[in-house]
Amino acid sequence: MSGNSVKILLIEDNLAEAILLQEFLKVAEQKQFSLIHVKRLQEALKEIDRDYFDLVLLDLGLPDSQGLESLQPLMELAPSLPIVVLTNTNDDKLAIEAVRRGAQDYLFKEHIKPEILVRSLCYAIERKQAQEKLRQENEALETEIDRQTVEMLKAKEVDLLRSEFLAMLSHDFRNPMNAILLSSGLLLKSENILSKEKKLAHFQLIRSAIKRMDRMLEEFILIGRANSGKLECQLAPLDLILFCRSLVEEFKWSNDESNINITFTCSGELRGVLCDRDLLRHILANLLANAIKYSPEGATIYFGASEQEKSVSFRVRDRGIGIPFEDQKQLFEPFYRASNVDTIAGSGLGLAIVKKCVELHSGEISVESQVGVGTTFTVALPLSKATFEEGYL
């Protein structure tokens, strides 16, 4: 409605009635009405699609649509367009049902007079505008409620993480700390009576306890960063064969006391692949560390990387304790540990971090495992490659 002029789409197959309505509207004084007249519903839909109208005057008996069926396509196409229904006097029930279904008003053709018609049209437009405003306010309110609910859930999640961390601190952190206290105390007090081998064993105990604490701390810092959206994925071209090989070497070198055997195989070019070096390191190092931790000493871990047409995938397979089927779904939740870990130390954070890092790469992670047989984790990342000029890191 621009100023005082109202543009109406009249859908009426009876030409005489259409002309009469047009005459009625001509004599209106408070507003200027312009009327576009069509005879069929399909023509009306086309008109609404290409032009703006303030209101639709709809006859319920059309050649291509009968009764209330006409309402739905009109309301679907233009939900905020008010509709006033025209009926014959004997269509009383139908008219009321039309209003129930979304029409703004109904007029019995035989009773129409110029002032009744104009008043009904003006009210219909006002009412629809008020409804529309209410609907928009409602929508804005719902969006705000959704936003606040998400924030509340996030805060709850952070709270939960915090309390789980405190529980972890008091429980899982104490074990390695006690081991350090005990071994260092013995080394200090009984230095003279301890054999060289015993001393070495205590130093090794202290070292692995510190490593465990260090890993837990790093995991907690990482999950905190991931949850607050501070973990970012910065892609750079990588030579994945070199990357995986040096990771394996590093593992062997830094875990020399646990007699590790990692077999690395690869297929495909695997060069110039765009990856985030740090995130990929978190993913693979965590999976390898778990494979070692949950396997008997001296066991072989099979680590593979391959390039397919649209993805690169990494696979870490072990013949360790396996994961009970009922635990497999929840493994990637923070602090979740399977029921068969027994006394094997851990925080339950590693796989949650791995999952976040995989998601930041828009990749996927899956697990196949059988208790007593072993476990395979597979990570698939979408393949994108650097151009030759960008070089390989």
Residues lying near ligand ADP in the complex (CB under 6 A) are found at: 286, 290-291, 294, 318, 320-323, 331, 337-338, 341, 346-352, 375
With a CB cutoff of 8 Å and minimum separation 6, the contacts of 241 are 266, 270, 271, 305
* Shortest Å, Cβ 223 to ligand ADP: 10
Choice between 237 and 374, CB closer to ligand ADP: 374
371: left (phi over 0), alpha (psi -120 to 50) or beta: beta
Tell me the β-bridge partners of 39.
none
Quick one: 237 or 320, whose CB is closer to ligand ADP? Answer: 320
Which position has the token pair 């233009």?
Answer: 78
1 touches 46 (CB < 8 A): no
- Cβ closer to ligand ADP: 128 or 356? 356
CB of 291 to ligand ADP, least distance (A): 5
Token output for 185: 């105390």
**For residue 322, is it left (φ>0), alpha (ψ between -120 and 50) or beta?**
left
Nearer to ligand ADP, 44 or 179 (CB): 179
Q: How far is the CB of 208 from ligand ADP (least distance, A)?
A: 14
Choose between 131 and 328: whose C-beta lies nearer to ligand ADP.
328
Nearer to ligand ADP, 155 or 344 (CB): 344
Nearer of residues 124 and 292 to ligand ADP, judged by Cβ? 292
Closest separation in Å from C-beta 165 to ligand ADP: 13
Question: Least CB distance from residue 321 to ligand ADP, whole Å?
Answer: 5
Q: Least distance from C-beta 344 to ligand ADP, angstroms? A: 8
Residue number, 351 or 380, with CB nearest to ligand ADP: 351
Minimum distance from CB of 338 to ligand ADP (Å)? 3
The least CB distance from residue 200 to ligand ADP, in Å, is: 27
Long-range contacts: 60-67, Cβ < 8 Å, 24+? 60/85, 60/86, 60/87, 60/91, 60/94, 60/98, 61/13, 61/88, 62/11, 62/13, 63/13, 63/39, 64/40, 65/40, 65/41, 67/94
